[in-house]
Structure 1
Amino acid sequence: MRRHIIVTGAASGIGRQIALRFAGLGERLTLVDISAEALADVAAACTQAGSDDVGTITADLRLADGPQAMIDEAWGSDPVDVLVNSAGVYPATPFLDLNADTWDAVATLNTRAPVLATVALANRVIDAGRTANVVNISSGAALRARPGAAPYSTSKAALEMATRASALELGPLGIRVNAVAPGFVTVDSTANPVTEDYAAAVSGNPLGRRGEPDDIARAVLWLASDEAEWITGEVLRVDGGSSAGAMNLPLHWPAQGTDSPKGQHD
């Protein structure tokens, strides 16, 4: 049976590829972003990829009523089965330059918006006696802080806890909530640009390559599928193994012989 999928942040990067993957399954899509022009482009690409029912909603999810209005508009055309909260921002702001506005701008879109969208969807689903899946897009930054990313890292750590908290309360009501946490993924984004020096510094992992948007999209599709029907409240780290440990450190003693220093610990 064809499902109705909402993808926020669908105009570019990971969100766009998630939308294209769902389109390839022939799903009905509602694509959400702040840029109407970019949405029109991805909607056309989704039609070409295999979906014959693609709608768009131009919305600013930072507004207090933005997530509720998005759900109401999408549900008005057809009940929603899957919500993918992919919209987010990743500014670089030195810690000593932070103020209320810069902090709130990140937290509002990266944490509050997906939470409120999940609340809005859950109420609709429960009233209709249906089930649904929510997949949030987190980040490896939820576990590891880095210079200039205090608001971002905090927003994603909060999103992971919100994923667990909502899964706990909504699971008995037939709604699964999970998250995918990408490692460094190569995207062409004007909203969240990074330098090549930065990319090289953060992209080391045991599998030896940078992530691609499709690595994340395939994980999202799996979590939203019946194959993951007994999984909720989980964060799936799709990062080439980078969260397993540090790749860029040398051995802390010379690799000569078999003896190692005793009594020294990290």
Structure 2
Amino acid sequence: MSRHAVVTGAGSGIGHRVAVRFAGLGYQVTLVDINPALLSTAVQDCREAGADAARAVIADLGSPDGPENMITEAWSAAPVDVLVNSAGIYPATPFLSLDARSWDAVLNLNTRAPLLATVALAQRVVESQTANEPSRGASIVNISSGAALRARPGAAPYSTSKAALEMATKASALELGQYGIRVNAVAPGFVTVNSSTNPVTEEYAAAVSGNPLGRRGEPDDIARAVVWLAGDEAEWITGETLRVDGGSSTGAMNLPLHWAPQAGGEAGIGNS
């Protein structure tokens, strides 16, 4: 029987490509999104990639019961082996304009929803182990961001939500490992997704996409990493965040040399 992967935010961008890649590997795929039109197209793409059993679940994961209801519906089709928490929002909100509603909207979807979905899946996995499948486990991959390490103007809720998600990844991995449940995260650098939900200006994209490898990321760059981290080749990895960012987290690309090159000698090395 094929493995079952559930991917949230699967209507577009990174989530879409993650779902299609799992489909191409023979997984049964459940795609979750709040946008029915995008979800319908993504399901068709998965079926064309080889997942005849690809199915859609329309869900508002920012609501308190959304993650639990999603896992209930997905599990009713087949036990879930992989959960990828990719749904998220990235609104631009100046700090002085923040209020409880705007803060909660980001944290509820970006942090609370992956955590509650992880809890809901883990409960079912553990229940199945106490019945007839003691060896059943699961692999969970959360989609974080480079913003978890670097604050940026207008993104206080977003950066906080992703930093919290990385700690939630560690905390859940610590407690769930004994049940054969691995929990990891992938933190993309700037990825070109052309999202209508999370639009960014070209000025912003240019400012944050500099990296040692010299190009912007594509959704498939992230999808490859997610599928690997979720799979058997990474079976001894849990509680980790894999940064897939072209090297942008290694340091600052746009700073000048902090010394003046010296004529007649090696730059930056003084004479003794």
TM-score, structure 2 normalization: 0.95
The residue that corresponds to 1:258 in the other structure is: 266
- 1:50 Cα deviation after fit: 1.2
Indicate if the aligned counterparts of 1:203 and 1:210 stay in contact, CA closer than 8 A: yes
Indicate if the aligned counterparts of 1:43 and 1:54 stay in contact, CA closer than 8 A: yes
* 3-state SS, counterpart of residue 41 of structure 1: helix
- Equivalents in 1 of 2:191, 2:224: separation in Å? 14
Indicate if the aligned counterparts of 1:211 and 1:240 stay in contact, CA closer than 8 A: yes
The residue that corresponds to 1:85 in the other structure is: 85
The counterpart of 1:132, out of the listed 138, 143, 156, is 138
- Equivalents in 2 of 1:250, 1:231: separation in Å? 38
The residue that corresponds to 2:239 in the other structure is: 233
Indicate if the aligned counterparts of 2:260 and 2:267 stay in contact, CA closer than 8 A: no
- 1:49 Cα deviation after fit: 1.0
- 1:52 Cα deviation after fit: 1.1
1:194 maps onto 2:196 in alignment: no
Percent identity between the aligned chains? 72
TM-score, structure 1 normalization: 0.97
* 3-state SS, counterpart of residue 214 of structure 1: helix
Indicate if the aligned counterparts of 2:30 and 2:74 stay in contact, CA closer than 8 A: yes
The residue that corresponds to 2:3 in the other structure is: 3
- Equivalents in 1 of 2:260, 2:93: separation in Å? 39
The CA RMSD measured in Å over matched residues stands at 1.1
- Equivalents in 2 of 1:16, 1:202: separation in Å? 23
- Equivalents in 2 of 1:241, 1:134: separation in Å? 24
- Equivalents in 2 of 1:46, 1:28: separation in Å? 9
The residue that corresponds to 2:18 in the other structure is: 18
- Equivalents in 2 of 1:55, 1:43: separation in Å? 6
- 1:77 Cα deviation after fit: 1.1
- 1:2 Cα deviation after fit: 1.6
Indicate if the aligned counterparts of 1:23 and 1:29 stay in contact, CA closer than 8 A: yes
- 1:260 Cα deviation after fit: 3.7
Letter in 1 for 2:182: R
1:142 maps onto 2:148 in alignment: yes
What is the aligned length?
A: 262
- Equivalents in 2 of 1:222, 1:43: separation in Å? 22
- Equivalents in 2 of 1:31, 1:133: separation in Å? 16
Structure 2: which 5+ runs fail to align? 130-135
Structure 1: which 5+ runs fail to align? none
- Equivalents in 1 of 2:257, 2:44: separation in Å? 51
- 1:261 Cα deviation after fit: 8.2
Indicate if the aligned counterparts of 1:160 and 1:179 stay in contact, CA closer than 8 A: yes
Aligned ranges for residues 22-171 of structure 1 at < 5 Å? 22-129=22-129, 130-171=136-177
Structure 1 residues 259 and 215 mapped into 2: Cα distance closer, same or farther (>3 Å)? closer
Structure 1 residues 25 and 259 mapped into 2: Cα distance closer, same or farther (>3 Å)? closer
